[in-house]
């Protein structure tokens, strides 16, 4: 990211006569500062608007104490002003980050403002199903212990199921993709059993497993296993024949062909399977927690709904969004590292 702008500027300076070069630099600087000013002011202005809106409509909010939301918006206002001042003293990194992130942060605050106007402001949506953002934040803070505990349990369940399913999926995928015998017996099984949604196994899983946690781990693993196996298998089976030919003439034995040629060649496919599996694992996790397991974010959702505490439902949804997207981001980071060699070949 940070290298992108540098090489562009230098050749411009080098190739132009001094007077024109100076002009070019001035133009670049001017557009930079204009962009910076707009980006710089977006967040403070937006959060100030948020505060004004909140102060105007807070009397309509059934939530008795909304100070936390005020502190939240005030904090963003303060931090953004601080960052605006700090960027004059720091190197370009902070400035570039701000130029990149401030518009999207301002947009998010804008959405919060719109939400508050629609709920507390004009009362467009029925209560208690659609609480204001201030109410959601307050409930999140009040119930943080239970929310934290639920997130932790969801994380353990998800990781257990996902890793189990991914490992088994990669192994079966490699076997079915490489060995003819494994393909003959494995493919029909994969084709028949694979497409059944993992959640359809719930009635059976509850009977088989002594504890709901085990059946949940098994269901998540099953949900991950199918796409991972499918994609790994096709990646291995479609390894370019010429790579294998070259490896053979270099003296490769079967282990080299599998581990050093077929698997690296299948890696992009394997990651597609891992991403698809991650999606299905989220779904299965929430369903399993809603019906069997007595902890986790899915369980929390159902519990809050049963008590008609919709602010808590929203709070759980916000946490889920943060939780799932963080895990997704981690998988992206892993992919970027493992498939670094693809940089420049394909667009991610």
Partner 1 sequence: MVTASPRALNEGSSLRVVEVSKHFANADEPGARTHALDRASLSIAAGELVAIIGPSGCGKSTLLRLIAGLDSPDSGGLWVGSEAISAPSAERGLVFQDPNLFPWLNVRHNIEAGLVARGVLREKRHEVDEFMRLVGLETFAKAYPHHLSGGMAQRVALARALINHPKVLLLDEPLGALDAFTRMKMQDEVLRLWEARRTTMLLVTHDIDEAIYMSDRIVLLTQRPGRIDRVIEINLERPRQRNSPEFLRFRSEILEMLHFAGKAAATV
Q: Cβ closer to partner 1: 164 or 267?
A: 267
Q: Residue 334, interface with partner 1 (CB under 8 A)? A: no
Residue linked to tokens 């929390």: 300
Binding mask 299-328 for partner 1 (x = CB under 8 A): ------------------------------
Using rule CB under 8 A, residue 38 touches partner 1 = no
- Indicate which single residue of 249, 254, 306, 337 sits in contact with partner 1 (rule: CB under 8 A): 249
251 dihedral zone (left: phi>0; alpha: psi -120 to 50; beta): left
CB 290 within 8 A of CB 299: yes
φ/ψ of 280, rounded to 5, equals -70, -30
Q: Is 245 in the site for partner 1 (CB under 8 A)?
A: yes
In whole angstroms, what is the distance from residue 37 CA to residue 93 CA?
16
Signed CA dihedral, 206, 209, 215, 218: sign only: negative
Q: Which is nearer to partner 1, 203 or 254 (CB)?
A: 254
With CB under 8 A as the contact rule, the residue among 1, 19, 250, 306 that binds partner 1 is 250
CA atoms within 13 A on the CB side of 289: 25
Any contact of residue 3 with partner 1 (CB under 8 A)?
Answer: no
Percentages helix, strand, coil for the chain (3-state, rounded to 5) are: 85, 0, 15
**x/- track of binding to partner 1 for residues 212-241 (CB under 8 A):** ----------------------------x-
Q: How far is the CB of 242 from partner 1 (least distance, A)?
A: 5
Asked whether position 34 contacts partner 1 by CB under 8 A, the answer is no
- Nearer to partner 1 by Cβ, of 181 and 249: the residue is 249
**Alpha carbon distance 66, 137 (integer Å):** 8
In the complex, least distance from residue 239 CB atom to partner 1, rounded to whole angstroms: 11
Helix pair angle (297-306, 263-291), 10° resolution: 30
User: From the CB of 243, what's the least distance to partner 1, in Å?
Assistant: 6
Give CA 96 to chain center in angstroms: 23
Residue from the set 103, 110, 194, 264 that interacts with partner 1 by CB under 8 A: 264
* Burial readout 28-38 (b: 16 or more C-beta within 10 A, e: otherwise): eeeeeeeebee
Asked if 254 touches partner 1 (CB under 8 A), the answer is no
Pick 118 or 265: Cβ nearer partner 1: 265
DSSP assignment of 272-315: HHHHHHHHHHHHHHHHHHHHT-SSSHHHHHHHHHHTT-HHHHHH
Among 59, 180, 253, 347, binds partner 1 (CB under 8 A): 253
**Applying CB under 8 A, does 251 fall inside the site for partner 1?**
yes
| Min separation Cβ 2 and partner 1, Å | 20
The least distance separating partner 1 from the CB of residue 336, rounded to whole angstroms, comes to 14
Binding site for partner 1 (CB under 8 A): 240, 242-243, 245-253, 256, 260-261, 264-265, 267, 341-345
């Amino acid at each position: 990211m940070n290298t992108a702008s540098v090489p562009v500027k230098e050749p411009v300076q080098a190739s132009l006569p001094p007077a024109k070069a100076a002009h070019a630099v001035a133009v670049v600087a001017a557009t930079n500062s204009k962009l910076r000013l707009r980006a710089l002011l977006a967040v403070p202005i937006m959060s100030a608007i948020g505060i004004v809106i909140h102060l105007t409509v807070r009397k309509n909010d059934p939530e008795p104490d909304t100070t936390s939301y005020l502190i939240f918006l005030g904090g963003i206002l303060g931090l953004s002003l601080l960052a605006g001042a700090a960027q004059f003293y720091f190197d370009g990194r902070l400035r570039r980050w701000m130029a990149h992130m401030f518009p999207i942060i301002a947009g998010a605050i804008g959405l919060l403002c719109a939400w508050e106007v629609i709920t507390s402001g004009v009362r467009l949506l029925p209560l208690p199903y659609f609480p204001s953002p201030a109410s959601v934040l307050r409930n999140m803070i009040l119930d943080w212990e239970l929310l934290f505990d639920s997130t932790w349990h969801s994380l353990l369940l998800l990781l257990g199921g996902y890793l189990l399913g991914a490992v088994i999926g990669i192994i079966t995928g490699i076997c079915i993709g490489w060995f003819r015998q494994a393909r003959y017996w494995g493919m029909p099984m994969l084709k028949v059993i694979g497409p059944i949604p993992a959640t359809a196994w719930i009635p059976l899983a509850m009977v088989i497993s002594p504890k709901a946690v085990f059946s949940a781990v098994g269901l998540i693993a099953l949900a991950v296993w199918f796409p991972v196996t499918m994609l790994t298998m096709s990646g291995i089976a479609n390894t370019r024949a010429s790579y294998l030919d070259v490896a053979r003439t270099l003296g490769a034995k079967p282990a080299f062909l599998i581990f050093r040629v077929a698997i690296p060649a299948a890696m992009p496919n394997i990651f597609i399977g891992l991403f698809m599996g991650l999606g299905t694992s989220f779904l299965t996790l929430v369903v399993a927690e809603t019906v069997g397991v007595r902890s986790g974010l899915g369980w929390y959702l159902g519990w809050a709904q049963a008590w008609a505490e919709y602010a808590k439902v929203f709070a759980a949804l916000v946490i889920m969004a943060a939780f799932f997207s963080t895990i997704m981001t981690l998988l992206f980071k892993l992919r970027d590292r493992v498939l670094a060699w693809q940089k420049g070949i394909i667009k991610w």
